[in-house]
């Protein structure tokens, strides 16, 4: 293959060249750069430099995004083949191309790991659970066929708890070249006991065990050496300023005030049902707040909620051209909504955090409004990075709509989780 210098449309940043150097030296590795720092570009750089047959596995809704990225970065893009349905899966694929498929197609695509020289797993935290089928299929592909290289990409390799690192470490341990540092001989449960604190909780007649926090961090970092590279900020990148604003709900209608008073009386029950109700009760206020930003000429606006019910309220209340991205929206529709948003055809894009917080570049906006937050701090961070990334030249604003004691409890818990994850990452 030609070296990437000859076919890229742009000159990569120094830190991106350093990332490629790391991937070149460590044949199985996880690139964990913070969202917006160009992980896709670095993966494509190492792929075309070292490999003829490139396999990209990603969440299904990102297949079209990957195809667009290939076109964007290269003067003469490599041949790119998308697997959309089972009938698209080739038995004997041609050489010198990129094949892109979703995690949901892994079961029928194990043989492609034998074909490829490099396997790229985008949003590799999708493989964090060692018991899921997609994780087992991916491990089987690498174990049985051992392509020369593997690159995992994720701005949030551990989104919630330290044990989520385990399956990613074990993927790197499959490296046939043995260039990924020290091996991990531990089982999953040994790993949990070694690097987290065990907590046993009694619920009625049963005991539930949870592994929380982090311990033996220097040993864990030694285990990650050669497998994991993360940069959270780069001096040469010069991203614009990021400003957080907390907006408190102002209730004028008597019936709304009564609902909130009743809601807040149950402040000790911070359950998911109360969190969902909080999100619904705030939705009309969030819609009005978003409309004010649009009317002030600050659009387009990106709006996030963790729950599905507020999406309908927001969609019906915000005027103008508005689209939504939820789990029920097809990959093709999501791709079109993103293109329309970036082209300035939409006034607002409303997304559930689970469906719209990863993989998309939405820096046509410099305002993101959270109707409510996810319990997982990394998911909220991912959502913010849809606008605060390479290519953004405006100051970015994050508006968090707060209106109940539940919101306060969530923010407090998120801060605690974030501190633990920062120590490890």
Q: Is residue 222 scored above 90 in pLDDT?
A: yes
Residue 63, token pair as written in the block: 């297949």
Among 229, 262, 290, identify where a domain stops. Answer: 229
Distance CA 304, CA 291 (A): 14
Q: Is residue 214 part of a domain?
A: yes
Distance CA 276, CA 311 (A): 12
Distances (CA, A) of 378 to 120, 154, 222, 358, 360: 21, 11, 23, 10, 16
Cβ neighbours of residue 34 under 8 Å, at least 6 residues apart? 155, 230, 231, 232, 233, 385
Same domain, 252 and 181: no
- Structural domains of the chain, count: 2
Same domain, 247 and 350: yes
Q: Is residue 271 part of a domain?
A: yes
Q: Using pLDDT thresholds of 50, 70 and 90, give the confidence band for residue 180.
A: very high
- In the block, tokens 């079109």 appear at 336
Same domain, 211 and 119: yes
Please state whether beta strands 301-305 and 206-212 pair in parallel, antiparallel, or not at all (unpaired). Answer: unpaired
Residue 268's pLDDT is 41
Average pLDDT, stretch 124-153? 94
Q: Is residue 61 part of a domain?
A: yes
What is the radius of gyration, based on Cα positions, of the chain?
Answer: 22
Distance CA 119, CA 199 (A): 37
Average pLDDT, stretch 376-385? 84
Same domain, 266 and 208: no
- Domain of 140: which CATH number? 3.40.50.10810
Q: Using pLDDT thresholds of 50, 70 and 90, give the confidence band for residue 229.
A: very high
Same domain, 61 and 83: yes
Average pLDDT, stretch 225-254? 75
Same domain, 185 and 315: no
Same domain, 310 and 382: yes
Q: Using pLDDT thresholds of 50, 70 and 90, give the confidence band for residue 9.
A: low
Q: Is residue 65 part of a domain?
A: yes
Residue 358's pLDDT is 78
Same domain, 28 and 167: yes
The larger pLDDT score, comparing residue 193 to residue 407, is at 193
- Domain of 414: which CATH number? 3.40.50.300
With beta carbons less than 8 A apart as the criterion, state whether 217 and 424 touch. Answer: yes
Q: Using pLDDT thresholds of 50, 70 and 90, give the confidence band for residue 253.
A: very low
Among 200, 229, 258, identify where a domain stops. Answer: 229
Same domain, 306 and 361: yes
Residue 380's pLDDT is 87
Which H helix or E strand runs over 67? helix 63-73
Q: Using pLDDT thresholds of 50, 70 and 90, give the confidence band for residue 423.
A: low
Q: Using pLDDT thresholds of 50, 70 and 90, give the confidence band for residue 270.
A: very low
With beta carbons less than 8 A apart as the criterion, state whether 78 and 54 touch. Answer: yes
Q: Is residue 262 part of a domain?
A: yes
What does the DSSP assignment read for 100-145?
A: EEEGGGGGG-TTHHHH-SEEEEETGGGG--TTSHHHHHHHHHHHHH
Please provide the average confidence, as pLDDT, over all residues in the chain: 85
Average pLDDT, stretch 256-282? 60
Q: Is residue 236 part of a domain?
A: no
With beta carbons less than 8 A apart as the criterion, state whether 44 and 22 touch. Answer: no
Of the listed ranges 63-72, 111-120, 147-156, 173-182, the least confidently predicted one is: 63-72
Same domain, 250 and 184: no
Q: Using pLDDT thresholds of 50, 70 and 90, give the confidence band for residue 371.
A: very high
Q: Is residue 81 part of a domain?
A: yes
**pTM of the shown model:** 0.70
Q: Is residue 265 scored above 70 in pLDDT?
A: no
Among 229, 251, 275, identify where a domain stops. Answer: 229
Same domain, 207 and 282: no
Q: Is residue 182 part of a domain?
A: yes
Residue 407's pLDDT is 66
Find the domain containing 387 and state its range.
242-424
Same domain, 328 and 186: no
């Amino acid at each position: 293959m030609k070296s990437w210098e000859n076919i890229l449309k742009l000159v990569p940043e120094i830190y991106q060249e350093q990332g490629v150097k790391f991937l070149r030296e460590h044949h199985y590795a996880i690139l964990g750069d913070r969202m917006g720092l160009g992980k896709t570009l670095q993966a494509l750089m190492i792929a075309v430099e070292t490999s003829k047959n490139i396999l990209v596995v990603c969440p299904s809704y990102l297949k079209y995004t990957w195809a667009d990225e290939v076109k964007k970065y290269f003067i003469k893009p490599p041949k790119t083949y998308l697997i959309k349905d089972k009938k698209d899966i080739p038995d004997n694929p041609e050489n010198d191309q990129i094949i892109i498929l979703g995690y949901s197609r892994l079961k029928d695509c194990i043989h492609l790991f034998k074909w490829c020289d490099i396997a790229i797993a985008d949003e590799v935290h999708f493989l964090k659970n060692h018991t899921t089928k997609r994780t087992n299929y991916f491990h089987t592909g690498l174990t049985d066929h051992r392509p020369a290289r593997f690159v995992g990409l994720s701005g949030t390799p551990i989104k919630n708890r330290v044990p989520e690192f385990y399956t990613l470490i074990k993927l790197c341990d499959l490296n046939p070249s043995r260039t990924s540092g020290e091996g991990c001989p531990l089982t999953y449960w040994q790993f949990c006991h070694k690097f987290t604190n065990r907590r046993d909780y009694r619920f009625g007649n049963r005991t539930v065990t949870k592994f929380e926090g982090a311990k033996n961090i220097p040993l864990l970092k030694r285990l990650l050496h050669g497998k994991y590279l993360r940069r959270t900020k780069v001096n040469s990148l010069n991203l614009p300023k990021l400003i957080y604003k907390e907006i408190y709900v102002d209730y004028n209608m008597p019936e709304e005030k009564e609902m909130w008073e009743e809601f807040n009386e149950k402040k000790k029950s911070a359950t998911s049902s109360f969190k969902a109700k909080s999100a619904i009760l705030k939705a009309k206020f969030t819609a009005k707040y978003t409309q004010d930003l649009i009317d002030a000429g600050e659009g387009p606006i990106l709006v996030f909620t963790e729950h599905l019910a507020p999406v309908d309220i927001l969609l019906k209340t915000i005027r103008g051209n508005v689209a939504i991205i939820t789990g029920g929206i097809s990959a093709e529709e999501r791709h079109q909504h993103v293109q329309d948003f970036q082209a300035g055809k939409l006034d607002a894009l409303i997304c559930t955090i689970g469906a719209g917080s990863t993989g998309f570049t939405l820096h046509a906006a410099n305002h993101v409004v959270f109707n409510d937050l996810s319990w997982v701090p990394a998911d909220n961070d991912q959502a913010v990075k849809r606008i605060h990334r390479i290519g953004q030249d405006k100051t970015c604003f994050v508006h968090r709509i707060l209106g109940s004691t539940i919101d306060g409890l969530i923010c407090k818990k998120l801060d605690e989780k974030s501190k633990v994850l920062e120590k490890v990452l």
